[in-house]
Amino acid sequence: MTSAPPNVLARLLDADPVKALVMIYINQLVGNGYAKWHISDDGEIQFRFNTGETFLLAERVLIRLA
């Protein structure tokens, strides 16, 4: 799990500026070492804080998995 490639954020910014803003903040948490995320080949995004909370970033909602 690493921070998102810039091209992923750029595509989101073009498609949905609000979602892109959320992703930028999440990317900052990852970059600062507070969390990790994974973007699968099919575009599913899972985000996990170092304390264990795990979320699925769906199309229009944020779902807590654990």
User: What is the identity of the amino acid at 66?
Assistant: A
Flag whether the pTM goes above 0.85: no
Question: What per-residue confidence (pLDDT) applies to 62?
Answer: 83
2 Cβ contact partners less than 8 Å away, ≥ 6 residues apart: 30, 36, 37
Question: What per-residue confidence (pLDDT) applies to 13?
Answer: 61
In tens, the pLDDT along 6-48 reads 566 666 666 777 877 888 888 899 999 999 988 888 778 898 9
Distance of CA 46 to the CA centre of its chain: 7
> 63: pLDDT confidence band, cut at 50, 70 and 90?
confident
